[in-house]
Amino acid sequence: MELNVYLAGEIHSSWRQDLKEAAKNRNLPLHFTGPMENHDRSDDIGEEILGTMPTSILKDEAASSINNLRTQILLQKADVVIALFGETYKQWNSAMDAATAIALQKPLILIRPEKLHHPLKELANKAQVVVETPEQAIQALSYVFEEE
Amino acid sequence: MELNVYLAGEIHSSWRQDLKEAAKNRNLPLHFTGPMENHDRSDDIGEEILGTMPTSILKDEAASSINNLRTQILLQKADVVIALFGETYKQWNSAMDAATAIALQKPLILIRPEKLHHPLKELANKAQVVVETPEQAIQALSYVFEEE
Amino acid sequence: MELNVYLAGEIHSSWRQDLKEAAKNRNLPLHFTGPMENHDRSDDIGEEILGTMPTSILKDEAASSINNLRTQILLQKADVVIALFGETYKQWNSAMDAATAIALQKPLILIRPEKLHHPLKELANKAQVVVETPEQAIQALSYVFEEE
Amino acid sequence: MELNVYLAGEIHSSWRQDLKEAAKNRNLPLHFTGPMENHDRSDDIGEEILGTMPTSILKDEAASSINNLRTQILLQKADVVIALFGETYKQWNSAMDAATAIALQKPLILIRPEKLHHPLKELANKAQVVVETPEQAIQALSYVFEEE
Amino acid sequence: MELNVYLAGEIHSSWRQDLKEAAKNRNLPLHFTGPMENHDRSDDIGEEILGTMPTSILKDEAASSINNLRTQILLQKADVVIALFGETYKQWNSAMDAATAIALQKPLILIRPEKLHHPLKELANKAQVVVETPEQAIQALSYVFEEE
Amino acid sequence: MELNVYLAGEIHSSWRQDLKEAAKNRNLPLHFTGPMENHDRSDDIGEEILGTMPTSILKDEAASSINNLRTQILLQKADVVIALFGETYKQWNSAMDAATAIALQKPLILIRPEKLHHPLKELANKAQVVVETPEQAIQALSYVFEEE
Amino acid sequence: MELNVYLAGEIHSSWRQDLKEAAKNRNLPLHFTGPMENHDRSDDIGEEILGTMPTSILKDEAASSINNLRTQILLQKADVVIALFGETYKQWNSAMDAATAIALQKPLILIRPEKLHHPLKELANKAQVVVETPEQAIQALSYVFEEE
Amino acid sequence: MELNVYLAGEIHSSWRQDLKEAAKNRNLPLHFTGPMENHDRSDDIGEEILGTMPTSILKDEAASSINNLRTQILLQKADVVIALFGETYKQWNSAMDAATAIALQKPLILIRPEKLHHPLKELANKAQVVVETPEQAIQALSYVFEEE
């Protein structure tokens, strides 16, 4: 039994690499997906496919339609979603992905520094598990497969 | 035919009043619900019911469980959701409510200043309608009832 | 027991009036909804709310987001959908509304001139009832309430 | 991770071949399905299985029941749907397939010449991505798998 | 709180009258619906609306599409379904209505003479309650409202 | 806006009366339902309707089918479920009702003495709110309606 | 792409063998499941597992619970359901399986002799395809895979 | 066709081993999952991942969030659920898992000693099959695959 894990959230640090490595070290049967991590490409993908747009809003709309295509397809395939919130950026699309997972009855593991607890309290309350590090998230998933 | 409208988002300005007034001026059959708008009470409601908590995180958890009870009940009753994002605050619970509405196939009207378009672009792309003012949101709902 | 009936389809003839009259003559407890029937307003509603758009495609996108808001809200409230196809126009939004009703497990009554049967054959096969006139559609709904 | 892609729409041009080739050139793990592309066979399949029908309407009904069987089975298996609209034909079954995909929460990529935007505006608004060529549709799907 | 009760099954005896009277005697807040009980009208309704059909099979198809419209609308409105099977007739549409109720997660009360238990055993096993008389079915529904 | 509240759990104390009174004191628009509180009647209802059973297991099966009919109908109507666990009895049907509410995405308010936390910990984790007294449960529901 | 096909209906003739052979002759990627075809075993399975029952009704109840376990598991796995009705027997469980498939949005292929059309007319109207022989049912499924 | 079977219930006896062995002896294509069977680890898993908690209630909350993550993931993957109730312990999480399976329309096989029938009667009534031993549960699953 392999699990599909969607990694929502911040794309400006190496947390996904840390997390994948932690999974690999434990030989866990996890298959990871997530958003485009190259921020520039994620911003430009609309124009890359549809051509130059006359305004930055239209550029954003074109990009977001392709980014949402990616997210919708991969989220539907996911058995569990992990979302990491950092201290910078608004990360409203991360909150959107996390809430969508919950509404689709897919369990959410939330990773956040303790100091973000207050603004994230409603999302934390809906998450199935709340941790502070990618390593802890992988420990939780490892437990799903352990027998003793 | 009356519609239930859940007003998600920022609780620090008077936008809900503006919006309700706009609806009243047009005699629209809309029934509005939303989160607790008294910010302190929203933060304290857990302790109000369950007693003093030993840490601020536990206070937050107690409060968020009651706030989410309110949101879940009222969101289930809603026919349409309006979410307003302002320029201050992280507003992750607003993003959560908006995304939950979409996942439950309830149409979302997003109100945001144009300058927030970039960080909100994925949510805007999922919203059914994107406007900049409460008055415009009410115009859109008014159109649902108009015959010519 | 009152039924909500969404009237999808062509907005260039008076079929909705004929149909409502037929329902009234029989004193049927039916509440009708449908799209904006004023074609110009339906095309202009986006600019009416959001202001003038730089291109006709953007004008269309703005309008369609408001028209779809209306349809989504009213279709969710409907117990049954009636869709009429005429011989002119492409009517792809009518086909979209009809198919959405079916996918949401709401029964569809399709009204079409017999000569349109070939291009409509797949939709006709999915409809619960296929008739040629609004009067026949009302006869079918009347039967739902009759006791002998 | 392989994706099932249902190719709805026009069966009179070679667009499906172009699209499959574009996918093959990029080595994408896509499995394509779609309607019967031989138009005559699609019209005759009812009589082929059930025998000659007394009228052309009954011939159409027999054929559409088999065509819809095919579509229903393949659409249920699809992770994403691509629909192409051309300038000729009524294509109401294409609109039906596209709308069904949306209602089933499967993302839709709409391919259409820009000049069809007005009659397709409501469907375009519901689509996750709107492009003009099969190559662009494949670029969008390719992006789902890309890592940088 | 009023309950909608759909009365599926045999239309050749007066069981629905007995049942409605039993409900009335107890002043239960039940609203009853069901199929057309006039057998001839139920067989002829297709031709009544659509005109004379060339074959008896086509007459049956026309009639069944209208009868199923009625059932689908009323079953969607029902909170609970009661189905009575008698010893004559094949009653496959009664079995269809009963099974549809179960699949839609609406509780089924099955009324049948004990001697029909063997052929009905799989349906009886899926029913929430199995009784032998309309009076017993009403006793079960009465219990839903009783406080001691 | 009135809410339907199903009161699952222990039927041997007067907690439902306390809770209803607390709601009445606050003039809350709540409509309460729940299981049969007369324990003997709840055990005997199968035989009351279906006649004497040859064994106590068959008596139990007959009774449970009628009790579950009541629960299924009332739970479907509920907007929110309150479940109280006491220190005596196994209360497996209370746990069943509580878990069913959660799986149907209806929010659960769990009332339990603190000393039962350990055996109830998985259910408590799934509940939206956990309190110790009926008064606290009503405070939480009151908050849903409060404006400041 | 392999399809799971559940073969509901009569277990007293060799139609399932004919149908499987027809599929094999065409090399179709179909995996067939269905009910226990040994009628005696199907009647006795409850007692086989649970021991002798005191009455024939209890024997039937025990057997039907195991038969329904089988059907529920296999029907959930099915992509399409084929149901055959013969001229003997009441076949209410076949009607139940067929209706369950439809309610779960799985397409139904109905096989029946033309002379059964009248009593099966409501079920035939809900089926996606109606044929008279197993060979025709396989032709319809073969068409799902054909490319020209 | 392999089936995923979730084994809910008591973790203090060797019933899961007995059951897996019975399945192995019959070469059944069953893949078993279940909760953590090491009771201490199940109680401590929250602290193991998140660190020492200040109170036993918080320790329980941390542990239950991880245990529920495991259950939610594995229950979603399950085709059928087996739940065993023993005579000791409150087993409210077992009742929760069993009821969740039923609400998700996954068939439940309940294993319990006959003497527990009374307190389990409502759950037994909702279960698809009720047996007394693991061997009987495997016999029931074996029957799903048998052909004569």
**CB contact, 8 Å: A42 with chain B?**
no
A98–B102: do the CB atoms touch at under 8 Å?
Answer: no
Mean pLDDT of chain E: 96
Provide the pLDDT for residue D44. 98
H28-66: pLDDT as tens digits: 999 999 999 999 999 999 999 999 999 999 999 999 999
d(CA H130, CA G49): 11
Residues of chain F neighbouring B70 (CB-CB closer than 8 A): 143-144
Residue of B49, B67, B68 to mutate, testing the F interface (most F Cβ within 10 Å of its Cβ): B49
C129–E72: do the CB atoms touch at under 8 Å?
Answer: no
**CB contact, 8 Å: H98 with chain F?**
yes
d(CA D136, CA D145): 15
H65-86: pLDDT as tens digits: 999 999 999 999 999 999 999 9
Residue F63, domain member (yes or no): no
Instruction: Answer for the pair D65, G107: CB distance below 8 angstroms, yes or no.
Output: no
Residue type, C49: I
Residue D12, domain member (yes or no): yes
Q: List all residues 6 or more positions away from G105 whose beta carbon is below 8 Å from its beta carbon.
A: C105, D76
- The SS3 of residue D88 is coil
Q: Could you say which of E136, E144, E148 has the minimum Cβ distance to residue F69? A: E144
Residue A21, domain member (yes or no): yes
Burial class (CB in 10 A: 0-12, 13-18, 19+), A20: middle
- Angle at which helix F56-77 crosses helix E134-145, to 10 degrees, equals 60
Closest-CA residue to F5 (of F86, F109, F135): F109
Nearest CA in chain C to B127: C65
Token representation of residue B79:
């026919």
**Chain F nearest CA to E12, separation (Å):** 25
Provide the pLDDT for residue H106. 98
Residue of D72, D75, D92 to mutate, testing the C interface (most C Cβ within 10 Å of its Cβ): D92
Q: What is the CATH classification number for the domain harbouring D101?
A: 3.40.50.450
D46-49: Cβ within 8 A, 24+ apart = D48/G139, D49/G131, D49/G136, D49/G139, D49/G140, D49/G143
Q: Examine the pLDDT at D12 and tell me if it is beyond 90.
A: no
Q: How far is CA G17 from the centre of its chain?
A: 13
Closest-CA residue to E95 (of G72, H125, G123): G123
Provide the pLDDT for residue F89. 82
Among left, alpha and beta (phi > 0; psi -120 to 50; other), residue D121 is alpha
Q: Examine the pLDDT at E59 and tell me if it is beyond 90.
A: yes
* Residue showing tokens 């519901």: D126
DSSP F12: S
Residue B48, domain member (yes or no): no
Chains C and B touch (3+ CB pairs under 8 A): yes
Token representation of residue B21:
């007034």
Q: List all residues 6 or more positions away from C62 whose beta carbon is below 8 Å from its beta carbon.
A: C45, C46, C47, C49, C50, C53
Instruction: Identify how many contiguous H helices and E strands chain C contains and give both numbers.
Output: 6, 5
D24-33: pLDDT as tens digits: 999 999 999 9
Provide the pLDDT for residue B111. 98
Residue C62, domain member (yes or no): no
Provide the pLDDT for residue G148. 86
Closest-CA residue to B48 (of H118, F129, G134, G42): F129
B69–F109: do the CB atoms touch at under 8 Å?
Answer: yes
C44-101: pLDDT as tens digits: 999 999 999 999 999 999 999 999 999 999 999 999 999 999 988 889 999 999 999 9
Q: Could you say which of A33, A45, A65 has the minimum Cβ distance to residue D128? A: A65
**CB contact, 8 Å: E39 with chain C?**
no
- In chain F (148 residues long), the average pLDDT of successive 10-residue segments reads 95 93 97 97 98 96 98 98 92 97 97 96 98 98 96
G46-65: pLDDT as tens digits: 999 999 999 999 999 999 99
Q: Once rounded to an integer, what is the mean pLDDT over residues E5-29?
A: 95
**CB contact, 8 Å: D2 with chain A?**
no
In the sheet that holds B3-9, the strands lie side by side as B30-33, B3-9, B80-84, B108-111, B129-131
Q: Examine the pLDDT at D36 and tell me if it is beyond 90.
A: yes
Provide the pLDDT for residue G89. 83
Instruction: Answer for the pair H37, H16: CB distance below 8 angstroms, yes or no.
Output: yes
**CB contact, 8 Å: A58 with chain D?**
no
Provide the pLDDT for residue H11. 87
Mean pLDDT of chain C: 96
D77-124: pLDDT as tens digits: 999 999 999 988 889 999 999 999 999 999 999 999 999 999 999 999
Q: Could you say which of D1, D136, D144 has the minimum Cβ distance to residue A69? A: D144
- Per-residue pLDDT band for B139 (boundaries 50, 70, 90) equals very high
d(CA F20, CA F134): 9
H96–F67: do the CB atoms touch at under 8 Å?
Answer: no
A60-91: pLDDT as tens digits: 999 999 999 999 999 999 999 999 999 888 89
Number of domains forming the structure of chain H: 1
Provide the pLDDT for residue E148. 86
Task: Give strand ranges (E) for G34-124.
Answer: 80-84, 108-111
> Of all helices (H) and strands (E), which one includes residue B80?
strand B80-84
Instruction: Answer for the pair F46, F66: CB distance below 8 angstroms, yes or no.
Output: yes
Residue A67, domain member (yes or no): no
**CB contact, 8 Å: E3 with chain C?**
no
Determine what percent of chain D is predicted with pLDDT higher than 70: 100
G3-24: pLDDT as tens digits: 999 999 998 889 999 999 999 9
Instruction: Answer for the pair F70, F52: CB distance below 8 angstroms, yes or no.
Output: no
Q: What is the SS3 assignment for chain A?
A: CCEEEEEEECCCCCHHHHHHHHHHHCCCCEEEECCCCCHHHHHHHHHHHHCCCCCHHHHHHHHHHHHHHHHHHHHHHCCEEEEECCCCCCCHHHHHHHHHHHHCCCCEEEECCHHHCCCCHHHHHHCCEEECCHHHHHHHHHHHHCCC
Q: Where in the sequence is the domain holding G131, given as residue range(s)?
A: 3-35+76-144
Residue E18, domain member (yes or no): yes
- End-to-end CA gap in chain E: 18
Among left, alpha and beta (phi > 0; psi -120 to 50; other), residue G130 is beta
A121–B96: do the CB atoms touch at under 8 Å?
Answer: no
Token representation of residue E28:
């239960």
Q: Examine the pLDDT at H123 and tell me if it is beyond 90.
A: yes
Q: Pick the residue with more confidence: A6 or H90?
A: A6
C68–B3: do the CB atoms touch at under 8 Å?
Answer: no
Provide the pLDDT for residue B60. 97
DSSP bridge partners of A110: A83, A130
Overall size of chain G counted in residues: 148
Token representation of residue F82:
């309150």
For chain A, the chains sharing at least 3 beta-carbon pairs closer than 8 angstroms are B, D, H
G:H CB pairs within 8 Å: 49
Q: Once rounded to an integer, what is the mean pLDDT over residues E67-82?
A: 98
Q: How far is CA D108 from the centre of its chain?
A: 10
Chains G and B touch (3+ CB pairs under 8 A): no
Instruction: Answer for the pair F23, F141: CB distance below 8 angstroms, yes or no.
Output: yes
Q: Once rounded to an integer, what is the mean pLDDT over residues G127-144?
A: 98
E 118-147 residues inside an 8 A Cβ radius of G: 118-126
- Per-residue pLDDT band for G36 (boundaries 50, 70, 90) equals very high
Q: Once rounded to an integer, what is the mean pLDDT over residues B27-52?
A: 97
d(CA H91, CA H84): 10
d(CA B76, CA H144): 39
Instruction: Answer for the pair C6, C74: CB distance below 8 angstroms, yes or no.
Output: yes
In the sheet that holds G3-9, the strands lie side by side as G30-33, G3-9, G80-84, G108-111, G129-131
Residue E64, domain member (yes or no): no
Q: How far is CA D139 from the centre of its chain?
A: 17
Q: Examine the pLDDT at E1 and tell me if it is beyond 90.
A: no
